[in-house]
Amino acid sequence: MQNNYQVFHRKQDIGKRISQLHREEQLSIGIVATGTVDELISTLDDYASRIPWALVVLMYEEFGRIVELRMQYPSVTFIVFTNPVPLGMMINAMADECYTTYFWITRSDLSIIRFEQELLFTLLRRSDRPAAIIPIFANRNGEVVPSIQAPMIRSDRIDPIPFFPIGEVVPTLYPFFGIGMYERALFQRLRGFDANISSDFWQFLDFGIRCWLYGYPLFAHPQFVLQFISRQSVIEDRSDLHGMERCHTKALGIRQINGKNYIRKFGKYTDNRMLHSEVKKRIALYKSDFYQLMDEWKAPEEPR
């Protein structure tokens, strides 16, 4: 797919540029510009004062004031999209352009409450190779959001169950709102977010399920906490949108019996042609199926 964005790289002194040619930086932070320019400026000031890592802003041309922002923040890289795209495509671009071991996706309407980076890096380096670490979220009043997700099917439709966090590291099905710390090489090996899915929610769900079924878990960490600056209600849009069939086909089209994988059309949301043209080619990558994932999943608590 042709890139529909332009990258304005941060300014660096020549010594630092030469140094980076010989080593890979550990982390970069991608800030998705949402809300107002003033919110973005406030967030950039906050992150720049508290975080030593490279900052990248992901934004649309229509957001405006790009020249002013580049002059005000010469040490920040700006990835500017000419046309609106799903958030997953912006994150894919971040993975292509950041050249760091890990990258953290956040938003300009989120502030940092807690970020214990060494604990997060330690978890990402575990032998079970987590694909991402997802933060705990709070609304503008500091109330914790039920962002921990467990796998569930209702009437042939994947419909994850939300739970509140419990103060310890717990598995979660997908990156809530796409926010989290990702291992870049693994993210790209897993092919990132599906460009043929138009909904943010279904892109995030598809990626998370793919990670789990390929053997790479996702965890939410209590020492990684972000707060929405102005949002009281934090609700996902789980509407039936274009591409949701792709998510269902990849998630439900494989059954594992006695350790062997088989393709199988399940329910009204599974695309039979895609099942044979795409999913069958990757059948060997599945370490489990969605039904086993549901059976083995340990929820942190009863849903509220």
Whole-prediction pTM: 0.92
Per CATH, domain 109-304 is 3.90.550: yes
User: Smallest Cα–Cα separation from 75: which of 54, 51, 47, 94?
Assistant: 54
The phi and psi torsions of 222 (rounded to 5 degrees) equal -70, -15
pLDDT band at residue 244 using 50, 70 and 90 as cut-offs? very high
pLDDT at 20: 52
pLDDT tens-digit profile of 99-156? 999 999 999 999 999 999 999 999 999 999 999 999 999 999 999 999 999 999 999 9
Higher pLDDT residue, 160 or 84?
A: 160
- Report whether 201 contacts 157 (CB < 8 A): no
Q: Say whether pLDDT at 18 is over 60.
A: no
- Report whether 67 contacts 4 (CB < 8 A): no
The ranges assigned to domains in the chain are: 1-108, 109-304
pLDDT tens-digit profile of 176-223? 999 999 999 999 999 999 999 999 999 999 999 999 999 999 999 999
- H-type alpha helices, 225-289: 244-252, 272-274
Please give the Cα distance from 13 to 205 (Å, whole number): 41
Residues of the chain with pLDDT > 70, as a percent, come to: 94
Mean pLDDT of the 14-39 span? 75
User: Smallest Cα–Cα separation from 108: which of 58, 73, 143?
Assistant: 58
Q: How many CA atoms lie within 13 A of 109 on its CB side?
A: 14
Residues of the chain with pLDDT > 90, as a percent, come to: 78
Which SS3 state, helix, strand or coil, does residue 248 take? Answer: helix
40 is written with which tokens?
Answer: 């973005």
Per CATH, domain 1-108 is 3.40.50: yes
* DSSP track, 118-171: HHHHHHHTSTT--SEEEEEEE-TTSPBP--EEE--EETTEE-PEEE---SS-EE
| Per-residue three-class SS string for 79-121 | EEECCCCCHHHHHHHHHHHHCEEEEEEEECCEEEEEECHHHHH
